[in-house]
Structure 1
């Protein structure tokens, strides 16, 4: 059962209702009702007809099927403004063309008069020459008369050509008629429309109004702005990391938003805000609905809020399943919910593939991927293909030339790998280079490894699926290894024994067992191993460290 409410000076709202523009179920306005915006009246079904020539059907039926959401209303207003901008530009273009045409007509009429004068002068000169040549022969006189006749015919043809051009320019009266029609379209039809145009020109643009509303709401309530990366939440102000939303909310209360929030907003980034707790900071009022809170601070505390909806991305963060605040859909991970929010708030669309984005910067980055050219940079020593020239140079320096490229940020020491640098930080500088997982008892020696563990084991981000079975993998290299189980290929054979392997790396590690090459060393007890897998098993069984980022060499 839908509830229809009427807000002062805005018109009826239906919740829930079907938006006929984006097909989402949310709070909507009615397409056929009259609303007031910026001092002028607007009917959205009429705006569709005026802007796009679209006549929407079945608008006289159930109110729950004749709605338009706030996001689509904003886009419709933008389309109306864009149409007006195009018409104004066309008017300016035609005015410039008409001025140029008038100038050309004057120049060509003047040219025609000059040509007539030249023709008369030529005829007079011919007559003078005829008087002076009476002593010449009759044949010469006849020839000169013919020359004069030819000159006069040429001048007459030139005059006719100019007259045709003048007639052609007179036909530009059609352009003048088009100019007048555009003027009528641009001319406000009523005083209300004139008032609306003036107020829209003087009003703040949509982004500035949304930012102003967001700052007011955060400063006057207990909502919790935050950043996120993968499955971690970060404090909006000090960037502390959390996996439990309750801990994030409690921590955020230690910061004063009136001093920090506005200066912490990243340029052109839509803020992400947890609205699990709203409540008013200015009085003891308990409020759990954002629209109710807006009405409260404007009526009770005289705060100014502009008529903008969806100023920021709204979330209700929980430790387990997450629910969309717009449609109620449930998602197991925050990344999935964030991608889903594009369906409600995405306004930047790629013209090439139709992908939609929340921010213009994301769209620009996406467009670059269409122009990206795959390039391989093979190593001249071992033949390995690298993704860039920089990667190829780094590969040669570290693998073949054994040059230390990883610098210690506390001294001048340099190392072949990050793992060796981390061991140096522990031994030389006393750093605590352990990163425990907050959801299980595993401990890692690199933050990057902890993040990968979280994605692989807790978020189950397996994006690479086998085409021949249902197995999915975290890394594409693991999928490639798995495919050998279907094909049975074992193309890498040991020259010292009869063992064969599906991967070159597996063979190389096996070959070390035939030599004294024990390049993998335990940082805690100095035991050495020929294979990385042996070192990992040793660290797991003896030191309770999982998924160690191992290094080659000492």
Structure 2
């Protein structure tokens, strides 16, 4: 048996649930617990994390709590707590290898998790990461963390180097710098001369100006909008009767800025259009 297991590596222990085979009963037990039973016996003493076996728990302790980075990049000074992190870093930064391809479109990435996120977000519409404070749901964990920081915790860690602006996400700060200070509009419409600082604005432009797509529908009436902000304005103005815009000369309030502007012109400035 020693020769079979150590040198010939015969896998004589078979899983009753799938085609998995192992050389030892210990490996088979780990497989059963992790893949079929969902049992996590190894629990972290510092947080709520639990693992299927001891080696995974040790990796968690080293990377999260002890901050031990034993694995080094062969191209730069980068260090990681897991070999997989360094491998991913080398592929992404130095080798530019994207060996995970989507079977629905031309999307390619260097990690399986990124591919799964892409498929869930773009093709299946699955938002598995849900906020515990509201109805918000995200395609991946980082987006949920951004939501929590910006909406519920109001944490703004990203500061503008040109003014006092602070953002809860790096992407918001980048967009602010591009649009306000650098005036960079690097997203161009392929059908007209429209240019914008962000891809989401270009998508809204395409849907509204060229495709006529109105994805944001009102739950109270038949109204549909090209973007979420327009739908929010509709809800406030029509259904909630919220009047956010105030006249600077009297107590008049309006649900739209244009209504208040028209009021000021006709009532106070006596301007007739």
Whose RCO is larger (CA < 8 A, sep 6+)? 1
**Fold conserved between structures, TM > 0.5:** no
Q: What's the TM-score, normalizing by structure 2?
A: 0.35
Length-normalised TM-score, structure 1: 0.20
Larger helix fraction of residues: 1
